[in-house]
Amino acid sequence: MEKATENQEFISLEKTETNTIVVEVTYNLPSLEKATAIMKYTFYENGIINVKTTVNNLADHLPFLPRFGNNFILKNDFESGNWLGKEPFENYQDRNTAANIGDYKASVADLYFPYIRPQENGYKTENRWVTFTNAEGLGIKITAPKYFEFNAHHQYNSDFDAGEKKMQRQTTDIKKRDFVNINIDN
């Protein structure tokens, strides 16, 4: 399934303008047979951007989809995270009943958990909102109609994957990059 993200092919881009600007981008997902992904961005005058992601034409015989959401990169300046959700430790779906809902803050660097074998980490579940701000307090706020999950790191998601040959790596092999990589999942 991860190849759906890595191997997407651009199909079209449409833009419409009224009192908002709507940009709709369509991608073919060849690794999912005839599936397409549509990213619809609605830009409002007050600075709000609504992002809606839809996947169409999924085959019935595909394996379980472990993650569905959006990934984006911010400048490294947006290092301060604040969220209303579960914490005080990473909490995936199989571990989130032990976590408490609250208003939490952490730097993006502190959201990283250095497992001896590098892997996905730092996930937060049942979030109502999350912000990422710079030293001046400027930044972005992410909300959703339902609870959502997120994690944020100074690495690409692929930096944690050992690859098809499953190279033996250690935490020290994971290098900090000069950006903030954010995953927002449904």
Coil, helix or strand for 12? strand
pLDDT of residue 3: 65
Q: Domain boundaries in the chain?
A: 2-59, 71-185
Contacts of 58 (CB under 8 A, 6+ apart): 32, 35
In this predicted structure, the answer to whether residue 186 has a pLDDT above a threshold of 90 is no
**Is 71-185 in CATH node 3.40.190.10?**
no
pLDDT of residue 67: 78
Q: Which pairs from 81-84 meet CB under 8 Å and 24+ separation?
A: 81/105, 81/106, 81/107, 81/108, 81/111, 81/130, 81/131, 81/132, 81/152, 82/130, 82/131, 82/133, 83/124, 83/127, 83/128, 83/129, 83/130, 83/131, 83/150, 84/127, 84/128, 84/129, 84/130
pLDDT tens, residue by residue, 17-48: 998 999 999 999 887 778 899 999 999 999 99
Reading the block at residue 82, the tokens are 């604040």
pLDDT of residue 62: 73
